[in-house]
Amino acid sequence: MPNEVVVARPQVEVGDSAFTIAQRQFDMAAEYLPQYPKGIMAKLRVPERELTVNFPVRMDSGDIQMFTGYRVQHSTVRGPAKGGIRFHPGVTLDEVKALAMWMAWKTAVVGIPYGGAKGGVICDPKQMSIHEVERLTRRYTSEISIIIGPESDIPAPDVNTNAQTMAWFMDTYSMGTGYTVPAVVTGKPLDLGGSVGRNEATARGCQFTIRRAAKRLGLNLAEATVAVQGYGNAGNIAARLLHADGATIVAVSDSKGGIYNPKGFDPDAVLRWKHETGSVVGFEGTDKVTNAELLELPCDVLVPAALEKQLTRYNADRVRARIVGEAANGPTEPEADAVFHDKGIFVIPDILANAGGVTVSYFEWVQDLQFLFWDEEEVNKRLEQVMNRAFDEVINIAEQKKVNNRIAAYILSIDRVARATMLRGIYP
């Protein structure tokens, strides 16, 4: 069966921008949707709105410093735009556009009534005081508030932003309206209308899809070995949840390097060690490995949960896992997908594997709008239903159309957005 699968091999040049990669992935999937007019597909491969804001922030020294930020709405066809806000020195408009496009497909693949968006500010919050970060957050919120709102575009945390950032965002927006608007952002603290289960949701969604994949492959998770790159929110919770499923965690890493013990170790103890020392490296009974070596270790399940472009044409043929569950966004270059297919590695693509986060963000928004809150059991039960349904829909398309799982996820989501676009029609 796998030999019959047609694997598209896009020509990605070294240094291709994230948005170029996102558009090429779109084009590959669009070929399987010939029923839509070319003009509709042309609309879907570019963002609806790109807002650039240049704004001043008063620093603790009293100096005024200028910052540049972005908010890109890729699609609002199926509902309000939705996507995180990133504070990082490497933020570019191109990257924000790619991340916004991926959000549009992610919300569609799990069938939640949102479009896709992303925001970012070029800054290094690690070099700023908490007061400077607060003033930056509030001014950026104010600058982009012309396109933000609980019915139009709902931000969330991303790299270097967290529940506190969302609290400042919500407070600033609410000062403008004159009343409290919890549903304007998700990922808030529980005391301000956050949802139980949101913190674990990305990793839990990833766990549900890995369970489903393992079942298909006849792999017993209780006998499986797992390597996780990245030990932050997505990575460390994924490692601990899979460990609770009986899996043996053999390797994990963070930005300072990785640790390996083929016999396994306790991921909770590693988390305590990381809190004490600042890194997973040096944990008792483990050997040190580099982040690159971790990806090539013998294991059944590999969970990239750190950065983009980790699995490339240069290392893909040395990956030995049977399942790659993409907790991170964009960890695999398109050409590595083709190699994985040839090797029979089962990839759970990012827009499916890590969609648990945005799904519980949606639950948070629904609860905020109703002022009625669910317990954690309810949140997790609904999340499992959403993830399992999306997983099965993607795999059915992969089998029917004889494409790899990533293209299948794109076909499913682009089809949903294109169909909604056709139903709405072209204004005026």
If one asks whether residue 202 binds ligand NAD (CB under 6 A), the answer comes out as yes
Q: How far apart are CA 266 and CA 279, in angstroms?
A: 15
Residue number, 27 or 266, with CB nearest to ligand NAD: 266
Q: Closer CB to ligand NAD, residue 75 or residue 291?
A: 291
**Should residue 306 be labelled a site residue for ligand NAD when binding is judged by CB under 6 A?**
yes
* Dist. CA 402–CA 233, nearest whole Å: 34
Among 141, 253, 380, 421, binds ligand NAD (CB under 6 A): 253
Q: Report d(CA 69, CA 170) in Å as an integer.
A: 18
Q: Active-site positions?
A: 118
The residue range among 68-76, 233-241, 372-380, 389-397 that interacts with ligand NAD, by the rule CB under 6 A, is 233-241
Tell me which stretch binds ligand NAD (CB under 6 A): 14-22, 46-54, 139-147, 248-256: 248-256
| Cβ at position 159, least distance to ligand NAD in Å | 6
Q: Which residues contact 173 (CB under 8 A, 6 or more apart)?
A: 141, 145, 148, 149, 181, 184, 185
**Under rule CB under 6 A, residue 357 binds ligand NAD:** yes
Among 76, 137, 291, 421, binds ligand NAD (CB under 6 A): 291
Residues 130-169 vs ligand NAD: string with x where CB under 6 A? -----------------------------x----------
Q: Does 229 bind ligand NAD (CB under 6 A)?
A: yes
**In the bound complex, what is the minimum distance in angstroms from residue 302's beta carbon to ligand NAD?**
13
CA atoms within 13 A on the CB side of 41: 19
Among the candidate windows 21-29, 216-224, 300-308, 380-388, which touches ligand NAD by CB under 6 A? 300-308
Residues pairing with 49 in the sheet = 73
The residue from 323, 327, 383, 387 that contacts ligand NAD (CB under 6 A) is: 327
Does 428 sit behind a cis peptide bond, omega within 30 degrees of 0 on the bond before it? yes
Residue type, 252: V
Contacts of 302 (CB under 8 A, 6+ apart): 226, 227, 229, 295, 319, 321, 323, 324, 325
User: Which residue, 37 or 90, has its beta carbon nearer to ligand NAD?
Assistant: 90
* Residue 79, φ and ψ in degrees, nearest 5: 150, -175
Angle at 246 between CA 241 and CA 250, to 5 degrees: 80
Q: Which of 203, 187, 205 is nearest to 195 (CA)?
A: 187
The residues that touch ligand NAD, with contacts defined as CB under 6 A, are 159, 202, 229-235, 253-255, 291, 305-307, 327-329, 354, 357
